[in-house]
């Protein structure tokens, strides 16, 4: 006997609300009280309810994949989307790009868009909105693969980068260049990939036999150039100025670079700088930026190929997890490449 199909009535009964309220949570969540919406969504996830439209959708999926990113102002995500587009093209499919859901109302609008375009599946790289988005995709039975962070829930394939190694590579490089006073301009703790970079950075300080105070932290709630400029002003205001700054991503590093440069500091002579990502502009900055390359296009390509396997083959397969290695790219902002054996 197959598993009974969970319907809207089951959800309404379990959540103690009317059928109309369940319908509003799915279609117009912005008009439902947050506590009620959260309770109903939790029941939907726990019962494994899938909308009838979503189930029908799988039968008539189109030739379109979606890729959802937090924003397109960070070139990192444009590169990731280009990798997904390459995987789609290999399979004769096309790609629709949309920016990530910051709230349930936006998530509902995304699902309506996916349904109207009969999207075959999506690569999700949504940062802190990933939980809301993954639940919405599950409810609508739209296949997905998570990119640039560890799968937030069981059953989802993922492609990520080993950010702990990335943080370790950055600090080991600065220590090898003689730095013993480093400030880490870190990003929002909400993101696992940011926490991993910090963990790797701290591990490298310990591995070098240095005191933990060799790596001080300036926390930053943004990951943008503007947030970097603000952090750069805080670095300049430090009584005990560091000799090097490690930033959670390249946009922060470019903002810090602008603030230090405007204050008349020379990079790297007065202060060295390292980022994460290796976006397009890192190498073309006024002082080319040393950074930890995080292969965004390769991540998108792997995630796109996993999604094509799940949606164009004989149905979803067991979750697969791909972890790519970061790579240190040495440029002028830490003194550039040196011949082997050059002294510190
Ligand atoms: O979303 C901001 C950052 O997180 C990006 O720069 C990239 O590093 C991602 O992992």
Domain boundaries, the chain: 1-49, 56-161+298-324, 163-294+327-334
Among 233, 153, 200, 138, CA closest to 328: 200
Query: What pLDDT digit, counting tens, does each position of 254-295 carry?
Result: 999 999 999 999 999 999 999 999 999 999 999 999 999 999
Tell whether the torsion through CA atoms of 202, 206, 209 and 212 is positive or negative. Answer: positive
Ligand 1 pocket test: which of 71, 73, 77 has the largest number of ligand atoms within 8 Å of its C-beta? 77
Query: What pLDDT digit, counting tens, does each position of 40-85 carry?
Result: 888 988 888 877 655 554 555 688 999 998 888 899 999 999 999 9
Among 297, 294, 255, CA closest to 273: 255
163-294+327-334: what fold?
Rossmann fold (3.40.50)
The rounded percent of the chain whose pLDDT value lies above 70 is 91
Query: What pLDDT digit, counting tens, does each position of 150-189 carry?
Result: 655 678 899 999 999 999 999 999 999 999 999 999 988 8
Q: What is the CA radius of gyration of the chain?
A: 23
Q: Which of 16-20, 204-208, 272-276 has the lowest mean pLDDT?
A: 16-20
Q: Using CA atoms, how far apart are residues 97 and 22, in angstroms rounded to an integer?
A: 29
Q: Is the full-model pTM beyond 0.85?
A: no
Asked if 1-49 and 56-161+298-324 have one fold, the answer is: no
CB within 8 A of 312, min separation 6: which ones? 91, 93, 120
Atom of ligand 1 nearest to the CA of 163: 10
Cα(295) to centroid of ligand 1, in Å?
A: 11
* 1-49 is classed CATH 1.10.260.40: yes
State the CATH architecture for 56-161+298-324: 3-Layer(aba) Sandwich (3.40)
At 344, the pLDDT band (50, 70, 90 cuts) reads very low
Cα(99) to centroid of ligand 1, in Å?
A: 14
pLDDT reported for residue 8:
87
| Highest mean predicted confidence (pLDDT) among 10-14, 97-101, 188-192, 290-294 | 290-294
Cα(29) to centroid of ligand 1, in Å?
A: 29
């Amino acid at each position: 006997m197959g598993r009974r199909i969970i319907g809207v009535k089951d959800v309404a009964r379990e959540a103690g609300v009317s059928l109309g309220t369940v319908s509003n949570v799915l279609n117009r969540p912005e008009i439902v009280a947050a506590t009620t919406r959260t309770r109903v969504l939790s029941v939907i996830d726990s019962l494994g309810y899938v909308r009838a439209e979503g189930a029908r959708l799988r039968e008539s999926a189109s030739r379109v994949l979606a890729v959802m990113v937090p924003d397109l102002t960070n070139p990192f995500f444009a590169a990731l989307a280009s990798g997904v587009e390459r995987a789609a093209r290999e399979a004769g499919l096309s790609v629709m790009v949309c920016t990530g859901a910051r709230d349930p109302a936006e998530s509902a609008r995304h699902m309506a868009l996916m349904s109207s375009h009969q999207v075959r599946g999506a690569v999700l790289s949504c940062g802190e909105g990933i939980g809301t988005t993954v639940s919405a995709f599950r409810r609508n039975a739209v296949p997905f693969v998570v990119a640039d962070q560890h799968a937030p829930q069981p059953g989802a394939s993922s492609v990520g980068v080993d950010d702990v190694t990335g943080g370790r590579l950055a600090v080991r490089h600065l220590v090898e260049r003689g730095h013993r006073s480093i400030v880490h301009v870190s990003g929002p703790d909400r993101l696992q990939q940011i926490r991993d970079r910090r963990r790797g950075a701290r591990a490298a300080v310990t591995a070098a036999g240095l005191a933990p105070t060799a790596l001080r932290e300036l926390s930053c709630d943004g990951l943008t150039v503007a947030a970097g400029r603000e952090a750069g002003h805080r670095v300049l205001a430090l009584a005990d100025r560091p000799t090097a700054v490690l930033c959670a991503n390249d946009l922060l590093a470019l903002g810090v670079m602008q603030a230090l440069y405007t204050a008349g500091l020379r990079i790297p002579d007065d202060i060295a700088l390292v980022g994460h990502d290796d976006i397009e502009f890192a190498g073309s900055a006024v002082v080319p930026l040393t950074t930890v390359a995080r292969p965004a296009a390769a991540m998108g390509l792997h995630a796109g190929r996993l999604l094509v396997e799940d949606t164009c083959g004989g149905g979803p397969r067991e979750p697969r997890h791909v972890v790519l290695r970061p790579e240190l790219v040495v440029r002028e902002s830490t003194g550039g490449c040196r011949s082997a054996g050059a002294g510190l």
